[in-house]
Amino acid sequence: MKTAQAMSVTETKQEIRALVSRYKKEGKSIGFVPTMGYLHEGHLALAKQARKENDIVIMSIFVNPLQFGPNEDFDRYPRDAEGDRHKAEAAGVDVLFIPSVKEMYPRALSVQMTVTKGTDVLCGRKRPGHFDGVATVLSKLFHLVQPDRAYFGLKDAQQVAVVENLVRDLDFPIDIVPCPIVREPDGLAKSSRNVYLSEAERKEAPEIYKSLQLANKAVEQGERNPEKVISLVKAHLSAHLSGKIDYVELYSYPDLEPVHAIHGRCILAVAVQFEKARLIDNIIFAE
Amino acid sequence: MKTAQAMSVTETKQEIRALVSRYKKEGKSIGFVPTMGYLHEGHLALAKQARKENDIVIMSIFVNPLQFGPNEDFDRYPRDAEGDRHKAEAAGVDVLFIPSVKEMYPRALSVQMTVTKGTDVLCGRKRPGHFDGVATVLSKLFHLVQPDRAYFGLKDAQQVAVVENLVRDLDFPIDIVPCPIVREPDGLAKSSRNVYLSEAERKEAPEIYKSLQLANKAVEQGERNPEKVISLVKAHLSAHLSGKIDYVELYSYPDLEPVHAIHGRCILAVAVQFEKARLIDNIIFAE
């Protein structure tokens, strides 16, 4: 059991390296939860799982400019340093690493990372370069924190897939731990964007998860045709939602490649555009 | 002091990971010497320095297809597994890691690394993509071996510069240790290619190092103009060598950017084409 102790907060690479080096010398395992802050229950669930499985839990909060496109909301990305600090500590985080952009990128990078697999599908299709920035900042954070395990939420399953491939292909000595989507009692995936739903939209929104469950049932009962499963989901969404279907796609996981038949691990992912909120959800078939 | 023990030889990632994990648990420091094999005195000097500075010395031998161009000599690159084994053991290597290409690259990579700084100068100018392959394989090897220190010979100073930048920009928790060029008694930098020199060429060849020493003396005496230093070297080489000057270049180090005046760390590098051998040499001014 961990003895209660004040959370350390550090803004510098030098300090995080010194802490990590000490933990390593003490033979302690490190669980890592990389975030962009503005913490919600999804992040805290990752921290709690890391707390159970490691001696030390390190969380980073860094809004990474490299993964935002020129027309995206880097400058407007919500920040709440004080609130995050309390939430992280309450979730059992030992060390909170909050570097500045200058600390993480003190000069132009001499090496460019380009993710070539699993980016041109799902949400990544509209965010060219996004996962290049994710891969770069995670490589840096992994080197600074040297975790045994790193925790990612399956809400952004494409990110988990890209990270699993990155770690495998570059041989990072890290276990990537994908964590289940946290849901409201009625099944709606938790998201900070849910507050933008109108009352009527909020009532419909759980149908997204219901459509995924229908698909899951069909696959369990032997359906192997991706087109049929996708049609099933689209029909359910069209019948029950006022929002517009952005995509319903099915791929192998984590390779995110089209499949002719549902075998092995596959992901079925959905994005729906409501008036002010765009919601995403997914389910992974693991037969 | 290290007690004499048979060198371990391993061909798999799984085994090297297990060994590294054990050393880490025992709190042992790891020195790493990555090579492409066909070991000569240059490599062995790296191993010997690693031996002095670390509890464990790991050497890799891997001819990395990713760093060879389509018209380069990957298939003809010289190999001598048996000889290498004896030499490595005699130099004090504890673990020799000799993976196959299939072991290192079991599938197409999902991420491409592109080195954007310090590549389009010196020898790199004629080898597009070479340092991308170097950065990729070293990232993988660094993750597998998790060294405290990695040793590189300054004979290929451009490679050392690229690796120093890579480690700094991606925050690898590794000290890069650049090691001095190993020379013959008459000053000629040791190289497996020296055997291709004719008798007459071999007699002239030490003038390459002499030209660098002349330049060094000029800088020590206050010369700050790169053009003048380069002219001095070119004049000396033209007067004393039958070989053709390929390049004489001077850059900041390790950024490898042009300088208007010689201040801080700078590299002066030379390549000379003889009839059957192309020789390179360099000196780093560190004022």
| Crossing angle between the packed helical segments B41-53 and B81-90, to the nearest 10 degrees | 40
Shortest Cα distance from B115 to chain A (angstroms)?
4
Here the CATH number for the domain that contains residue A271 is 3.30.1300.10
- Over residues B18-38, the mean pLDDT reads 96
Task: List the CATH number of the domain containing B122.
Answer: 3.40.50.620
- Cβ pair B114:A118 closer than 8 A: no
User: Where is the domain boundary, A147, A179, A211?
Assistant: A179
* CB-CB under 8 Å, B17 with A170: no
Which of B117, B140, B162 has its CB closest to that of A170? B140
First to last CA, chain A: 36
Question: Are both A171 and A80 inside the same structural domain?
Answer: yes
Does residue B86 belong to any structural domain of this protein? yes
In a domain, A216, yes or no: yes
Nearest C-alpha neighbor of A137 from the set A187, A85, A66, A212: A66
Most B-contacting residue of A15, A110, A140, A160 (CB-CB within 10 A), to test interface: A110
Residue A242 reports pLDDT greater than 80: yes
| Residue among A109, A111, A171 minimizing CB distance to B140 | A171
Contacts of B190 (CB under 8 A, 6+ apart): B40, B41, B42, B155, B181, B182, B183, B184
Q: Examine the domain organization and report whether A148 and A268 are in the same domain.
A: no
A26 touches chain B (CB under 8 A): no
Residue A239, C-beta contacts closer than 8 angstroms, at least 6 positions apart: none
Task: Tell me the sheet residues that pair with A250.
Answer: A268
Q: Are residues B267 and B167 in the same domain?
A: no
Spatial separation of the C-alpha atoms in residues B262 and B284, rounded to whole Å: 11
Chosen from A14, A25, A111 to mutate, greatest number of chain B CBs within 10 A: A111
The complex's ipTM?
Answer: 0.93
- The answer to whether A39 is annotated as binding is yes
Tell whether A22 is within 8 A of chain B (Cβ): no
How many residues are listed for chain B in this entry?
A: 287
**8 Å CB contact between A271 and A247:** yes
Give me the pLDDT at residue A287, please. Answer: 64
Q: Are strands A95-97 and A111-115 parallel, antiparallel or unpaired?
A: unpaired
Same domain, A174 and A261: no
> Which residues in chain A are contacts of B140 at CB distance < 8 A?
170-171
Per the domain annotation, does B129 fall within a domain? yes
Q: Does residue A46 sit in the same domain as residue A114? A: yes
Predicted confidence (pLDDT) per residue in B78-119, tens digit: 889 999 999 999 999 999 999 999 999 999 999 999 999 999
Is A242 in the same domain as A157?
A: no
**How many Å apart are CA A122 and CA A157, to the nearest integer?**
10
Cis? peptide before A173, omega within 30° of 0: no
When the pLDDT of each residue in chain A is averaged and rounded to a whole number, the result is 94
Q: Examine the domain organization and report whether B173 and B241 are in the same domain.
A: no
Residues B245 and B130 in one domain: no
Query: Could you tell me if residue A60 is inside a domain?
Result: yes
- Pair A242, A150 in one domain: no
By Cβ distance, the residue of B109, B168, B170 closest to A169 is B109
Residues A169 and A47 in one domain: yes
A160 and A18 co-located in one domain: yes
Residue A1 binned pLDDT confidence (cut-offs 50, 70, 90): very low
Q: Which of residues 33-72 of A touch B (CB under 8 A)?
A: none
Separation CA A161–CA A163 (nearest Å)? 5
Task: Kindly report the nearest CA distance between residue B139 and chain A, in angstroms.
Answer: 7
Domain contains B38: yes
Q: Indicate if B43 belongs to the active site.
A: yes
The Cα B122–Cα B178 span in angstroms is 18
Nearest to A194 by CA among A40, A29, A34: A40
CA dist list (Å): A193 to A79, A210, B76, B114, B121: 15, 19, 58, 36, 49
Residue B150 sits at the vertex; the CA angle it makes with A107 and B88, to the nearest 5 degrees, is 160
Q: Domain boundary at B147, B179, B211, which?
A: B179
Are A112 and A206 found together in one domain? no
Is A184 inside a domain boundary? no
Domain count of chain A?
A: 2
pLDDT in tens, B225-278: 999 999 999 999 999 999 999 999 999 999 999 999 999 999 999 999 999 989
Residue A220 lies in a domain: yes
State whether B110 and A13 contact (CB < 8 Å): no
Containing structural domain, residue B203:
192-286
Strand segments, DSSP code E, in B193-273 are 244-252, 265-273
Does the annotation place A188 within a ligand binding site?
no
- Asked, for residue B3, whether it belongs to a domain, the answer is no
What percentage of residues in chain A have a pLDDT greater than 90?
A: 88
Which of these three, B121, B147, B179, is where a domain ends? B179
